[in-house]
Structure 1
Amino acid sequence: MGISALFIACSCFLLYTGESAETPCPFVMTPSRVVVQYGHAFTVNCTSTTDEVEGMGWESNYKGTGLIYSPHVQLNIEKVDSFDIASQCYINLKNSPQCTAFLPIIVYKIPDSVLIVSENQPIEEQQDFEMQCNVSNVAPVNSTVVTWYLGDTRIKREMLTSGVSQKPSTQSSVIKITADKDAHRKKLMCEAKFDFGPAGPHLLPIRSPPVDLHVLYKPFFKEPKVERVEVPANGKITLNCTAQGNPTPNYHWQVPKPTGQKVGHQPILDLQGPFPGTYNCTTSNSQGSSVKQFVLTDAPRDYTVLATVLGILAALGFLLLISGPFIVTKDGTFSLNKGGYSKGQPSQPICCWVYLVSGDGCSLSLKPSRVVVGFGEAVSVSCEATRPVRVLGWESAIGPSHTQQEQSVQWKVDSLIDWIEEPICYGVFHTAPRQCEEKLNLVLYKIPDSVSIRPVDHTGPMVEAKKYQLLCEVQNIAPVQYLTLKWYRGDAMVHNHSFSDLTSSSPVQVSSILEIFPSRAENGASYRCVAELELGPEGPQQPPSVTSDSLNVSVQFPPTFIGSETEVVELISGAEIVLNCTALGHPSPVYSWQSPSPMQLTGDEAILISSTLVPGAYICTASNSLGKKTKNFTVKAKTKGV
């Protein structure tokens, strides 16, 4: 056995046998705790608080002082070159045994480096990737906290662990990230910092060089994917299809055939028309493509002059109506006489009537009006006009269509995978209102990739009546506002969590926490969580759901006796006596017996069966790691004649 191990063993013996285990020693250590950097010095004074002192000293596996006949003793370490320093101050008293107390000493070493080890870049959007932060040659590891930052946002904090060793070692923190286009060109960084508690010291963190993230993502538009544009009278118009993407997107235009307009492969298209119709711009790169639609219509005509003329005619007609009918003669003269004309010929009246036509209102009907479709499934919706229509069509990034002959048009997609798709049916009519639209209520859903359950910051068995948290994580589910997470213990639902306050239409990761205070009756209980999409009457009759694996809970509790904790047993000569000390507990209790006779062998079983017991008190103790319980048996001789 080495000197250090021998010293620690002896020190532990002193702690468990000296008075210091019960009452504080009559001295003060200043400071009462040491946190020192490797290679530096420190000094601690140990000063008696009693006049009954005979001598004091420092015992240490590093540098001690021996016994000093003084009420004051100093531990002076000029240079710390060990990470396992165990030192204790002791005091010899006149009428009491020696008293000792350990000095808490933490020796730390600043890490040689903090570096991020990254996967191959660039990374595709929605791809999971891992980054590793290596903290090299640091001590103590158990006081080292690694914090991750993406841009200015903290995304993870982790306390490193390495068992009981206080010596320097190289440790790592791993973070798992799902690539997102918003993370493109952001800087990822990690830092290592010591956490010595509220008393400190509080040292500055050591930071890694930042890593620039490069995320590949398909093009997307900041502006709406469908734009309706009125062509001005001069026919000049500019269509802007600029998209963001990595790699840089390419562009391709589709224009109505009658225009004959020459188009290139740039995001900006300048037109000299007018050329009403639908213009499709497809932007693409290695990660996918997106389509933007421009629906061009003629600007409404100015009917001010016509309305003025019609108003005047209507006014004149009204005046003529109340003044009497006009009589138009054959030679073109007019007369107010009903029965004559200027040349004496009978007149033939000609009556003039004026009609004004108003619009019928916008009449578009979607069948069905609400659609629930699974990711990658086919979908078809019909749009019908209930009055004569000039142009009827669908504005959509996927499957756009239009017609100039029919009263209905269909939007159809064989495999719907666009999370921001918002199909709109539009109509351009002959009468006012000349334009109107109906937006399709479309719900695109996806069941989660996985549903998992685990305890939060805990491993192993649980202790009765303590608070624990269970975490249920749901990966890539949409739309989250229709999600309900249901918690079950066995077959009984104990909690449900709704996410109706969220609004994302694309897949997201969400979680739910269940707090439990397990009882002994729940030992062996099984917990699980179920992610269920409640999509309404248009959705599947059986709501889509995914269930996590079961989490079996082991609950530990101290021993308790099934019956009374005291029992009186009559002794009949020659007959066997049974003393039953069986207790319930987890871990399973162990038993020990005390008998009134030192020579009486009682063993370590829960049930004591013997015909040789003597009268007296028998004490059974049932114990496990959480506590112990005692049961008392009184064995008395049976009175004769009774």
Structure 2
Amino acid sequence: MWRVRAMFLILISSGKLLSNSCPIELSPSSVVVRFGDPVSVNCTTSLDEFEGMGWEATEGGTSSKREIKMVTWSVASLKTWSIQPICYVTMSDYVQCQQNLEVTVYKMPDTVSIWPSLTGPMEAGGLYQLQCDIRNIAPVRNLSLTWYRGNEIIHTETRDNDIATPQNESFNLPITPEKDDDGIQIQCEVQMNLGISGPQWTPIKSEPFDMVVYYPPSFISPLPEILDLAVDDKPILNCTADGNPQPYYRLVSSAGYVEATETKAVFRLSSPLLPGTYNCTAANRMGSATKVFIVQNPPKNITQLEDTELEVGSSSTLKCFSEANPPPIFHWDYYKTGNVEVTYVAGGSLLHIKKATDVNIGNYTCIVAYALKNISHVARVTVKGANSQCPIEITPERLVMPYGGQTSVTCGNSTEDASRNMIGVFWRVGQRVVNGAQWDVEKDTDWDLRAECIATFSGIGECSKRFDVTFYKTADNVLIHSMGHTGPMVANTEYQLQCDILNVAPVQNLTVSWYQDNDLNDDQGSLRVTGCPHQNMDCASQEIKSPVNVSSTIKVSLERNQHRAQFRCEAQLALEQQRPPPMMSHNLSLSVYYEPIINSTKLPSSVPVLSGYPVELVCEADGRPAPNIHWFSKKGVRVSSGNLTVTEAGVWTCNATNVVGFNIHEVVVVFKEDYLPLIAGFVAATVLVISVVFAFFYSIYYKNTKMRHYSLKNPKLNTQNGNVAHNSWDSPLPMTKLC
């Protein structure tokens, strides 16, 4: 074995020792073993060929083995506190690798105990130290200590100590005890953290240390205690106090009388005493405490204070009297104004009201204070002819704002008297309460918001003033359309137009105006809610606060000359403080159709026709859409045109038709003889006869008086001029006279 060890050292020095990827596996990979217990660990190699393997250890080492692939490190009783076995394997090329085995040897402590730094009781507020001693434990590095106050963990700590052998360890806990720590148990607990592979043993606790804490006396109810007794009663005073050590008691009266000094806390006075104050003192070595007992004859009922009714401008006095021993103190609670004065008299108090007004209406409370106990009585004052008003003022007085906007409203006093008498103020908004005078409206999203300012005043009590809030929302859209009809309208026929205003609020402030072209229409219609926001309910417009759809309907009847008339509707929220811009619909252009109208001025009812002379009849008609025109006769002849040529007598009807209706016009054609040719012939014949007669007589006359006979044979031109001579007066052209 030593030869192998020497070879191992040589390999280390030559750098041929392999430490990474060593083909060795330890089972288990680490061990936790109690001192003196047996232990064994197997070392296995995955190599098929190797020179040898074995364990190097101060106890349980083995020689190098060649034939087997597993060697075991085993110790029957491990009594070495610090040991580190090494499993090695020498491979075929004489390169050696190794695996270290982590071994933890532990020992449970012999004792765990607590010791105080000082013996005896502790004083509350003092600084002390508790020590936890742990005897003979190993290893210390695996130790953790926990301190307990009853079942409560108050501190945990460990030690950084690498010593493997058993050690004695002490842990200190500084404490400052209080009154509540008296009787509490303190313990320390030891736990060995030996890891997952180690044994899981139950922690060891010390014996409990019972704390004894001294503290000064204190009374469960330290406030003065009032005993209402008759003069001849013998009072019993319970003066019990809590303290450690047990306190002793001493009772002293306000007159200096010492009743008793004893350890009992209950005093029964041996004889009746005059009412007064008693001081009970409880004391021990830590301190003392005193409680006051007030023995008194309490005030009797308040007398002479009654409800009072005054006339406006009149005066009155309220009286308040009561008996007690010692004498009580009187004061008044009321709405304080300048015309009220309070005076005091023996056994009572007087309140004077001068020239009463509406501010004097309210409750007047007389309070009789005796030691720490009060009695009171209330009288109601009314003023005839005056009305009580809540003296608060809201700014602004009314609010109109867009839904989702942001603003604040303040509730304050309306007068200086109100400021002096106000006790508190808050807002009630729906079911929610907003404390203080200011209310931020943007936090509220209820359309039907009901808000009121509520204030409390002396004498008046709680009164309120409602605040009106109007949220508005302009319409998402304003639409105009005709109802129950599409396409063009027929002239002189009544139709309905509807304006839809979508998602607008509040509807009770909405007005709708109708315009025809640029003129305000005569019919402005009426509003109605087209969609109720509440299911199964009919909505009245005055009750709706949230956005709804609203419609307005008007009746229209157009003339034929109103073709392409433009209609529009305009929605306006008529609000007091803010008026948003009007919301307008688009223009609705209306087409007007009307039945045909035949132009009778160009088409008479009766037309004559002459034989051989045809007559053209022209039928013209106005209508929208443009009418179709045709002629038909009683004989069943039909002409699809507005122009008709007739040559004979008969009755013809012009029919003008469009989608609206039709119109007809009847023409009677009358046949007449044509005498014009006869007359013309007669006139022509007469003219011809006259012409012939005239020509005859003229020819006779011409021959007898004027006519000459000339021969044109061989004429010669006169060189003077070229004119032809007539009747021999001018004869430039020579002629031969025949006769």
> Which TM-score tier does this pair reach, normalised by the shorter chain?
0.3 to 0.5
TM-score, with normalisation over the residues of structure 1? 0.45
